[in-house]
Amino acid sequence: MTLVQFLGLAAGTITSITFLPQVIRIWQTKSVKDISMIMMILLLVGTSCWLTYGILLKDVAIIYTNVMVLLMSLIMFYFKIRYR
């Protein structure tokens, strides 16, 4: 693994972790009233596009980051629908 690849994966990990406190908070409080459905949909579409882009480029850092963000986004989307 090169230094550039390591940097990309480290950045992806840090970026992905930023969603974790929000997911935990929603799960604990069962409150999603302050989460915008439009923002959630745009986040899911945008992240899916980034993931597709990373797959087409075969860029592991882009794929890894966007799989993690997409996973967190899908969990938040699920909570948004479930705890409406």
What domain range is 16 assigned to?
A: 3-82
Q: Which helix (H) or strand (E) holds 27?
A: helix 20-29
Burial class (CB in 10 A: 0-12, 13-18, 19+), 45: exposed
Residues 5-14: pLDDT tens digits? 999 999 999 9
What is the C-alpha to C-alpha distance for residues 25 and 27, in angstroms, rounded to an integer? 5
What is the C-alpha to C-alpha distance for residues 50 and 79, in angstroms, rounded to an integer? 23
What pLDDT does 1 receive? 85
Considering its fold, how many domains does the chain have in total? 1
**How confident is the prediction for the chain on average, in pLDDT?**
94
Supply the CATH number for residue 46's domain.
Answer: 1.20.1280.290
Residues 41-72: pLDDT tens digits? 999 999 999 999 999 999 999 999 999 999 99
Q: Is the CB of residue 5 less than 8 Å from the CB of residue 55? A: no
Q: Which amino acid is at 13?
A: T
Q: Is the CB of residue 68 less than 8 Å from the CB of residue 11? A: no
